[in-house]
Structure 1
Amino acid sequence: MKNTITNGSTKLILLHPYIQKQANPNRLWLIALVSVFAVASLLTLVYTRESFHTTTTTTHITAALNHQPQTLPKSVMRALVHYAANINSTNHMSQTDIKQISDVLKQCASPCNFLVFGLTPETLLWNALNHYGRTVFIDENRYYAAYMEEKYPEIEAYDVQYTTKISELNELVASVREQSHNECRPVQNLLFSDCKIALNDLPNQLYELDWDVILVDGPRGYWPEGPGTISAIFTAGVLARSKKGGNHKTQVFLHNYNREVERVASEEFLCKENLVKSSKDLLAHFVVERVMEENGTHQFCRNYPPTSS
C-alpha cells in the first residue's frame, strides 16, 4: 500500500511499513548465503595452502633422507682413527692397522655388515666407523657383553661358549681335516653343524646375513688353556664361503697374526692364496670368495699347509 501526500505542486509517495517488512527476509537470506560462500572459500584456500605446504615439506624431507651421505665424512673418520690409536692401552691396535680396516669399511657398500670377534678397546670405534651399517660383536665373556650393551645401547653384542683350547691346536686341525667332507665342510649352514670347532650357538639371524667384513680379534689366547681364535677363524672362513648374495667377496682381518694359533688356523681356513697383506703391526688381511656348494669342494685351500708341530 502507498499513501500520497500533496504539498503544493509536490507529491510525496510513502511506502507502507508492511512492504518494507516483506523485503527484509530476502535481503537477510542473501547476506547469509554470501557469508557462507565467503567462509567456505576462505577455508578451502587455507586447507589448500596447508596441504601444499605439508606435501612440499614431506617431499623435501624425503629427498634429504634419500640423498644423505652413506659414509661418515673423511675428517670425522680420520679424527676417530687418530683418537682411538692414541688411547693409552697395552692391548690397543696400532694406528696403521686401524687405518687399514677403516679404509675397507669406508669403501664397503652401504649398508655394510661387519662381524667382530672380540670386545676390545676399539669396539666403539668399529661401531662408529660403520655408522650406516650393522656391526655385531661376539665375545666369550657374557658379563662383559651384557655390560657393554647396557652402558652403550648402540652396541649389539652376543656371548658364545668356546670349547677349544690352545694346547689342543694340532688335534683340532687334524679333526677338521678328517671331517672336511662331512660336518666340517667349508660351505655349510653352521647353525646345524656338529663340527667340533664351529660356532653354532649364535642367534639364528646372524647365520642368514651376508657378512661384508669380518674381524677376528678374539677370544683371548695367551695361555695354554685359553680358547684361542681357532673357532673364530674357522667360522669366519665358512661364513665367507657360504654367502648367498651381495658381494661375492668377504674382507677378513685377523689380529695378532704373529701368534702360532692365528698363523696355523688362518693357513688352514683362510688360506695363503687369499692373503692380501700382512703388516709388521700384527694384522693380516684376507679376501675370501664365495663358493657355490654345488661345486662339490671339500677343502678350504688349494694346497693344505703341513700341520704345525
Structure 2
Amino acid sequence: MMRAMPAPKKALFLAAAAAVLFVGTFLLSNFLRGADRGLLCSFSPLFSRPFTGGADVRGELALALIHYATTSQVPQQLRAEIQLTFDVLRRRAPCNFLVFGLGRDSRMWSALNAGGTTLFLEEDKEWYELVLKGSPSLRAHHIKYRTRLDEADKLLKGYRAEAECRPGRADGVAGLRRNGGCPLALVGLPDEVYEKEWDVVMIDAPKGYFPSAPGRMAAIYSAVVMGRGRRGEGQTDVFLHDVDRKVEKAFALEFLCQKNRVGATGRLWHFQIPPQKVALAHYDVEPTTTL
C-alpha cells in the first residue's frame, strides 16, 4: 500500500506541477502558433537577429520547461498579466525584447521570444549574479541608475525645465546615450541597448518600494524616448508592472500617455508608443500629474 506523501513534500510537488502546466501551456502554444505564421517580426532587418529556428528554438523551449518542472518557483506576475504580454510576443516574436529586471520569470520571457533577442537589465548586483548562476544562458547586464525614489516628485515636476529632456532634443539613441543633462535619461548602458531597436519593452524593475531605491522613473522615461526614436516599421509595445503604486502610475500617465494605453489587467498596463513622426500632443500642455 502506498504511503501518503508528507504535507511539505506534497505542497512542493503541487507547486512544481502547477509551474509545469502554467509555463508549458504558454511555451508550447507560442512555438506551435509561431511555426504556422513563419515567426516573422515587424522591425527593420538592420536591428534584428535572424531567426535560426529548428533545434535552437526547440532546445530553448525544452530547457525552460525542464527548469519550471524542477522548481517550486513560479513566475512573479499573474497568469492574466503574463497572457497580455504573451499575446503581443506571439504576434511579434522573434523580436527584440528589452526587460528591465531579472527574476523568477526571466527564463519564461526568454523562451517566449525563442529565436529573438531578449535582454535583461538588473540593478541589484547580488541578485544579478544569483540569477545568472542558476540561468547562465540568459542575456543580461548589471546597470546603475542615477535616480532615487524619494526624488520622484521633484523629477516629475522639473523635467520640462531641462532642455535636454524635451521631445525633439531627446528622441532615440541620441536622447539617451550621452544625455547626462537629463536626469531621467539612462546613460552609460551597454552599447547593445542603444544599438538595437527594441520592439517590446517590459518594465518590471528596478526596485521602487523604499526611499533610496532607484524607482522606475528613468526606465519609463527612457522607454518612451526609445519608442519615439524608432526607425523601423510599427510601434513599440511597452508593458509597465506595479501600476498600483503612485510613482509608476504618475510617470506612466505623464510619459507613456493615457491615449497610448491599449490594454490593462491586474497591475500591468500595456502601451503602444508611436515614433516621433506621430505627434504626442500631451507634451504641448503643462503637466498636471502629481504624486
**Counterpart AA for 1:193:** N
**Counterpart AA for 1:274:** N
Structure 1 counterpart SS, 2:140: strand
**Counterpart AA for 1:103:** D
Q: 2:145 aligns with which of 159, 162, 165?
A: 162
Q: 2:91 aligns with which of 107, 128, 132?
A: 107
Q: 2:255 aligns with which of 269, 275, 280?
A: 269
Q: How far apart are the structure 2 equivalents of 1:225 and 1:67?
A: 43
How many residues are treated as equivalent by the alignment? 231
Shift of 1:251: 0.5
Deviation string 1:235-267 (CA, Å, 9 cap, x unpaired) is 11111111122x330000000011101101111
Q: Counterparts of 1:32-51 in structure 2 under 5 Å?
A: none
Q: How far apart are the structure 2 equivalents of 1:66 and 1:239?
A: 23
Equivalent residue number for residue 242 of structure 2: 256
Overall identity of the aligned pairs, in %: 32
- Equivalent residues of 2:177, 2:194 under 8 A apart: yes
1:225 and 2:225 matched: no
When Rg is computed on C-alpha atoms for both structures, the one with the higher figure is 1
User: Please, which runs of 5 or more residues in structure 2 have no aligned partner?
Assistant: 1-49
Equivalent residue number for residue 193 of structure 1: 179
Q: How far apart are the structure 2 equivalents of 1:289 and 1:118?
A: 24
Structure 2 counterpart SS, 1:307: coil
Q: Which moved more, 1:282-291 or 1:167-176?
A: 167-176
TM-score normalised according to structure 2 size: 0.70
- Equivalent residues of 2:155, 2:184 under 8 A apart: yes
- Equivalent residues of 2:53, 2:115 under 8 A apart: no
**Counterpart AA for 2:77:** M
Equivalent residue number for residue 4 of structure 1: none
- Equivalent residues of 1:214, 1:251 under 8 A apart: yes
Q: How far apart are the structure 2 equivalents of 1:238 and 1:66?
A: 27
1:96 and 2:80 matched: yes
1:307 and 2:289 matched: yes
Equivalent residue number for residue 102 of structure 2: 119
Q: Counterparts of 1:15-94 in structure 2 under 5 Å?
A: 68=53, 92-94=76-78
Q: How far apart are the structure 1 equivalents of 2:203 and 2:152?
A: 17
Shift of 1:142: 2.2
Deviation string 1:5-35 (CA, Å, 9 cap, x unpaired) is xxxxxxxxxxxxxxxxxxxxxxxxxxxxxxx
Q: 1:285 aligns with which of 251, 263, 270?
A: 270
TM-score normalised according to structure 1 size: 0.66
Structure with bigger RCO (C-alpha 8 Å, 6+ apart): 2
Structure 2 counterpart SS, 1:191: coil
User: Please, which runs of 5 or more residues in structure 1 have no aligned partner?
Assistant: 1-64
- Measured at CA, do residues 67 and 233 of structure 1 come closer, stay the same or move farther in structure 2, by a change above 3 Å? closer
- Equivalent residues of 1:116, 1:135 under 8 A apart: yes
Q: How far apart are the structure 1 equivalents of 2:268 and 2:126?
A: 28
Deviation string 1:95-129 (CA, Å, 9 cap, x unpaired) is 0001111111110053x000000112211110111
- Measured at CA, do residues 250 and 304 of structure 1 come closer, stay the same or move farther in structure 2, by a change above 3 Å? farther
